[in-house]
Amino acid sequence: MPRDAETATLALYQQLIDGWNARDAAAMAAPLAVDGLVIGFDGSEMDGRADMSEQLAGIFADHMTASYVTKVRSVTTLGADTAVLHTVAGMVPPGGSDVMPDRNSVQTVVAHRVGDAWSVALFQTTPARYDGRAEVAEALTAELNALVQS
């Protein structure tokens, strides 16, 4: 794992997204700290790597999930051992070619290093509804759809 906070955080986030898109609960949970926290789109919480893996396995077994398309907005280092990643994400349904606007979100990752090992302390997904600002929501959908088409 990279030693640089920004590089490590980007790599951890990509592991999360790749795990989701592969519908592989263990792969998605792997970068989470043993005692890390995940707050999902609907507000549900997963407390630790084992809980995340168990809950995701159930989700993946029950139905075909949409795939993420993401765009990193920033990575802010908070010292040599901690960083915060800010990204936007959309979801493309199975067999679809456009994001579902009602699933657009803002995601945050807090990554932390203990010794030489980096892990995700927090992964949070918040709906990007932009209440009362339809033009902002539409612009985000257009931006994410452009990533799907590229």
Q: What is the rounded distance in angstroms from the CA atom of residue 90 to the CA atom of residue 58?
A: 22
Query: In the chain, what are the domains?
Result: 5-149 (3.10.450.50)
5: nearest Cα among 119, 92, 102: 119
Quick one: pLDDT band at residue 19, thresholds 50, 70, 90? very high
Q: Is the pLDDT of residue 142 over 50?
A: yes
Mean pLDDT of 41-65: 95
Mean pLDDT of 48-61: 96
Q: What is the rounded distance in angstroms from the CA atom of residue 65 to the CA atom of residue 23?
A: 8
pLDDT at 3: 65
Q: What is the rounded distance in angstroms from the CA atom of residue 126 to the CA atom of residue 46?
A: 15
* pLDDT tens-place string over residues 105-130: 999 999 999 998 999 999 999 999 99
pLDDT at 150: 83
Q: How far apart are the first and last CA of the chain?
A: 29
Query: Which amino acid is it at 85?
Result: L
Q: What is the rounded distance in angstroms from the CA atom of residue 35 to the CA atom of residue 51?
A: 10
pLDDT at 1: 46
What's the whole-model pTM score? Answer: 0.94
Computed over every residue of the chain, the mean pLDDT equals 95
